[in-house]
Amino acid sequence: MSRVILPSIRWSRLCTSKRLHSVTSPSASWVSTHRRLYSEVRQNTPTSAQDKATVGVFTPKAAVLFVATGIGLYYYFHHEKQKLLEQKQNSLESRSVGRAQVGGPFTLTSHDDKPFSDKDLLGKWNFVYFGFTNCPDICPAELDKIGAVITPLEKEYGDIFQSVFISVDPARDTVSQMKRYLADFHPRIIGVMGDYATTKDICKAYRVYFSTPPNADPEGDYLVDHSIYVYLMDPNGQFVEAFGQSAPSEEVVERVKKEITEYEQETGKKV
């Protein structure tokens, strides 16, 4: 009996072993799939070198370099800004040196019977003209031209212009006479006058010739010979240009626009 039973037991153990092996051992397809997934995970996981390249390493040395670079850039741009300001200032000074010294301090009386001085020229572009109210043709024509210049300029730039009509006939050009006379011209024109000595001084400052005698009779019928120029003064009260009688209003407008552009570029400000 034992000879028959022993083989049966060995066969049972062998079968059990085979069943266990078949359950616990992974198949070839399972192994292949997991190897592939593991390989993909490794490829998509950044290495330490990749981390450094992506994030960067902010070491103390890098921090010092960063701060030093920032300070260097600050001083560089500060220096360049100062240099640009100096160039603008030099340009303004050279521009002033290249022009005639026209104008100066004065105190006169306006046609509204109020004090008017060179300080009242500041802050606006001024057209300064010398003449007299009894002038038969030239003065009215020049005052009309000034009005024709101011009108289009005001439309483009606003209220930054005025004109000053300075009398060279102090004996006859009283406050009331000047007020009546200017009623026919552009409202931006301000008439101003003074005594003979003051008139002589301001004409000298503006390099204007006039022939009025110091003892002229206020009731006399006489003409005054004088220079015929319209002086353009900038908002700082500095002489810019002189326009002669032959310059048409359209040309004067364009030249004034050019001067305004240059002034704004050089000073960095608008009126």
Residue list, annotated binding site for Cu cation:
135, 139, 226
Please give the full DSSP string across 235-259, using - where no structure is assigned.
TTS-EEEEEETT--HHHHHHHHHHH
For 143-192, the three-class secondary structure string (H helix, E strand, C coil) is HHHHHHHHHHHHHHHCCCEEEEEEECCCCCCCHHHHHHHHCCCCCCEEEE
Query: Pairing relation of β-strands 125-131 and 115-117?
Result: unpaired
Give CA–CA dist 242/216, Å, rounded. 29
Note whether 177 and 133 are within 8 A (CB). yes
Which residues fall in the annotated binding site? 135, 139, 226
Q: Residue 116, Cβ neighbours under 10 Å: how many?
A: 21
Give CA–CA dist 271/263, Å, rounded. 10
Note whether 199 and 214 are within 8 A (CB). no
Cα Dmax for the chain? 173
Q: Which residue reads 């004065």 in tokens? A: 106
Q: Residue-wise over 120-139: b if at least 16 C-beta within 10 A, else e? A: bbeebbbbbbbbbbbbeeeb
Q: Residue 219, Cβ neighbours under 10 Å: how many?
A: 7
Note whether 233 and 103 are within 8 A (CB). yes
